[in-house]
Amino acid sequence: MSRGTVVAKRYAKALFQLAQQQGRIAETETQLKLIVDVVESNADVRAFLTAPNITLDTKKQTLTQAFGAEASPIVLNLVGLLIERGREGELAAVLAAYLQVAGDVLSRADAHVISFQPMTDGEQSKLAEKFGALLGKTIRVTNSVNPELLGGLTVRIGDTLYDGSLRGKLDRLDKALQSAAI
């Protein structure tokens, strides 16, 4: 496990404990995700946060002004602390670790589903129900489309990949045939 991952988990656990004490677990997740999305999608914001010639106070004040209405003090304090310690690049890792910690405590997991065509709400519900029964957790499904799968879908929950795609089946068949021919 890399040092960055360990550090991100520590920050995430501390943030989760504070959010749990305040009864704001879901809101904290949403607020942190908002900030991470803005930072990840905007090169100017990333450049601003990593610029050595801008003071820490200026960075923190700017973030508070930008996100003060949308983010709680505990989220803003976390982001400020990461900036103070030169770990602004760990924001996405902290979010991922927060989702993991929250999921473990709340018996919840996120399933990232890639399908060859968009899934309906009913299909997503059925999939969440099936994997929920399999894992004993509540499953939240996010769906993205990749026409290269040819059919079927892949489901990633944590570090586990369930490949039920036609492309995956063809690849496995190809490997089996090649190893049999040798």
Q: Is the pLDDT of residue 118 over 70?
A: yes
> Mean pLDDT over residues 156-182, rounded?
85
Q: Do domains 3-103 and 108-181 have the same CATH topology?
A: no
Confidence label for 182 from pLDDT (cuts 50, 70 and 90): low
Average pLDDT of the chain, as a whole number: 89
CA 177 to chain centre: 37
- Give the pLDDT of residue 34: 93
- The SS3 assignment for 112 reads strand
**Distance between CA atoms of residues 78 and 75, nearest Å:** 5
**Distance between CA atoms of residues 82 and 125, nearest Å:** 37
pLDDT tens-digit readout, 42-97: 999 888 988 889 898 898 889 888 888 888 999 999 999 998 898 888 899 999 89
For the chain, give every domain's residue range.
3-103, 108-181
Region at 156 (left for phi over 0; alpha for psi -120 to 50; beta for the rest): beta
Q: For 14-170, where are the E strands, in sequence order?
A: 108-115, 138-145, 153-157, 160-163
Position 10, amino acid? R
**DSSP labels for 154-178?**
EEEETTEEEE--HHHHHHHHHHHHH
Confidence label for 17 from pLDDT (cuts 50, 70 and 90): very high
8 A C-beta contact, residue 93 and residue 5:
yes
**Distance between CA atoms of residues 39 and 11, nearest Å:** 18
CATH classification for the domain delimited by 3-103, as one of 2.40.160.10, 1.10.1330.10, 1.10.520.20, 3.40.190.10: 1.10.520.20
- Give the pLDDT of residue 2: 57
CATH number, domain 108-181:
3.40.30
